[in-house]
């Protein structure tokens, strides 16, 4: 028997339901993400996730294609099937074909992005997968490449948000699995 259940809309508090509907609207999707629905019972979790998502995505300095490539590669590295599928869905909507997405996963050094987008993706991927080994040199190299301190901080926040989202997603999938 699964540990988690997927609550019906009527079982989700109004405060959570409203934020979940706003998230769907802003994402442009009709279906609610399972990794959000499961946590709908707890409004403070939904509110915290929604606020973080909105603040880190709405006024971002970085283009959506680079962000979605970064999410796909982070998800691939962290083996989050749900996040990986979501990122690929968004990249498909941006015009990336499946072959190009597969090639990016196999060879992340050959991303079909401009130089700034490639640097963003590589740096965010490094933060998300190897933050314990960051050095002052990493920050200096990014600054020398033309990124401001604020942009570097935004990249760190972006990576941290997606790691948090991956934890929610992977925990939700594990909690839905039957014994």
Domain ranges of the chain: 9-59, 64-173
Cα(120)–Cα(124) distance, integer angstroms: 6
Neighbours of 8 (CB within 10 A): 9
Going by pLDDT thresholds of 50, 70 and 90, the confidence category of residue 106 is confident
The pTM for the full model equals 0.87
Q: Which fold has domain 64-173?
A: AhpD-like (1.20.1290)
pLDDT over 70 (residue 179):
no
For the segment 53-75, the average pLDDT, to the nearest whole number, is 86
Q: Tokens 């109004």 identify what position?
A: 14
């Amino acid at each position: 028997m699964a540990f988690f259940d997927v609550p019906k809309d009527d079982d989700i508090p109004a405060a959570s339901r409203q934020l979940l509907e706003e998230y769907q609207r802003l994402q442009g999707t009709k279906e609610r993400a399972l990794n959000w629905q499961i946590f709908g019972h707890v409004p403070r979790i939904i509110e915290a996730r929604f606020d973080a998502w909105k603040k880190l995505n709405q006024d971002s300095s970085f283009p959506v294609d680079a962000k979605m490539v970064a999410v796909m590669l982070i998800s691939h590295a962290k083996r989050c099937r749900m996040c990986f599928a979501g990122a690929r869905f968004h990249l498909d909507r941006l015009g990336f074909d499946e072959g190009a997405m597969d090639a990016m996963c196999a060879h992340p050094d050959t991303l079909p992005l401009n130089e700034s987008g490639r640097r963003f993706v590589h740096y965010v991927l490094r933060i998300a997968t190897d933050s314990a080994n960051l050095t002052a040199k990493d920050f200096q190299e990014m600054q020398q490449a033309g990124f401001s301190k604020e942009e570097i901080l935004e990249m760190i926040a972006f990576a941290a948000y997606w790691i948090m989202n991956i934890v929610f997603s992977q925990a939700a999938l594990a909690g839905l699995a039957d014994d």
